[in-house]
Amino acid sequence: MNGRLYTSQFLVQSAKPYVSLLFGARQTGKSTLLRAVYPHPALSINFADPGDRAEFGQHPALLVEACRSLPEKGGAAVVLIDEAQLVPEIFNAVQSLYDGDKTRWRFILCGSSARKLRKIGANLLPGRSLYHRLYPLVQAEIAPGLSEHSLLPRPSWAEPVPHPFASMDLPERLAYGALPGIVAAPEEDRLALLKSYAAIYLEEEVRREVASINLAHFSQFLELAALESGQIVNYASIAQKVGVTGKTIQSYYAILEDMFIGFSLPAFSGSARQGVLTTPRFYFFDLGVRHASARLTIAPAAVLANPGQLFEQWVGIEIWKRLGYLGEGQLSYFRTKTGVEVDFIIRHGQKLIPIEVKWTDRPALSDARHLLGFLAEHPETAPTGYIVCRCKHPLQLAPNIHAIPWQRL
Do 72 and 39 fall within a single domain?
A: yes
- Note the helical H segments in 85-212: 90-100, 115-119, 170-176, 180-184, 187-196, 203-209
Same domain, 218 and 268: yes
Residues 177 and 249 in one domain: yes
Q: How many domains does the chain fold into?
A: 2
Whether 327 is covered by a domain: the verdict is no
Look at residues 136, 177, 150, 165 and name the one whose alpha carbon lies nearest to residue 6. Answer: 136
Identify the residue with better confidence: 104 or 210.
104
| 121, pLDDT greater than 50 | no
Residue 96 belongs to some domain of the structure: yes
Q: What is the CATH number of the domain that holds 74?
A: 3.40.50.300
Q: What is the pLDDT of residue 116?
A: 64
DSSP states of 10-40: HHHHHTSSSEEEEE--TTSSHHHHHHHH-SS
Give the C-alpha separation, 165 to 146, whole Å: 12
Do 301 and 153 lie in one domain? The reply is yes
The sign one gets for the Cα dihedral 173, 174, 177, 183 is negative
Same domain (yes/no): 167, 296: yes
> Are 86 and 14 contained in the same domain?
yes
Does residue 103 share a domain with residue 40? yes
User: What pLDDT was estimated at residue 307?
Assistant: 96
- pLDDT at residue 137 is higher than 90: yes
E strand map for 25-163: 43-46, 77-82, 105-111, 129-133
Residue 296: inside a domain, yes or no?
A: yes
Query: What does the pLDDT look like over 165-220, one tens digit per residue?
Result: 999 999 999 999 999 999 999 999 999 999 999 887 777 777 776 767 888 899 89
Domain closes at, from 134, 156, 179: 134
Beta bridge partners of 354: 345
Would residue 232 count as lying in a domain? yes
**Residue 38 belongs to a domain:** yes
Q: Quick check: 67 and 102 in contact, CB under 8 A?
A: no
* 409 occurs within a structural domain: no
Instruction: Answer yes or no: do 130 and 145 share one domain.
Output: no
Average pLDDT of the chain is 91
Q: Give the residue-averaged pLDDT of 65-80.
A: 91
What is d(CA 120, CA 136) in angstroms, rounded to the nearest whole number?
28
- Give percent of the chain with pLDDT exceeding 90: 74
Is 392 a member of any domain? Answer: no
Which of 88-102, 130-144, 230-244, 272-286 has the weakest average pLDDT? 272-286
CATH code for position 213: 1.10.10
The more confident residue out of 214 and 322 is 322
Domain co-membership, 156 together with 293:
yes
Note whether 39 and 103 are same-domain residues: yes
Per-residue pLDDT reduced to its tens digit, 341-386: 999 999 999 999 999 999 999 999 999 999 999 999 999 999 999 9
357, 344 contact by CB (below 8 A)? yes
Domain around 301: 140-306
Of 22-31, 181-190, 271-280, least confident by mean pLDDT is 271-280
Q: Considering just the CA atoms, what is the radius of gyration of the chain in Å?
A: 22
The answer for residues whose C-beta is within 8 angstroms of residue 145's C-beta and 6 or more apart is 139, 160, 161, 164
User: How does DSSP assign 354-391, residue by residue?
Assistant: EEEE---SS--GGGGHHHHHHHHH-TTT---EEEEE--
Domain boundary among 248, 280, 306: 306
Q: Give the per-residue pLDDT at 216.
A: 87
Same-domain status, 81 and 183: no
Residues 155 and 235 in one domain: yes
Among candidate residues 134, 153, 178, the one where a domain is terminated: 134
Provide the residue type at 353 as one letter.
I
The answer to the question of residue 360 being in a domain is no
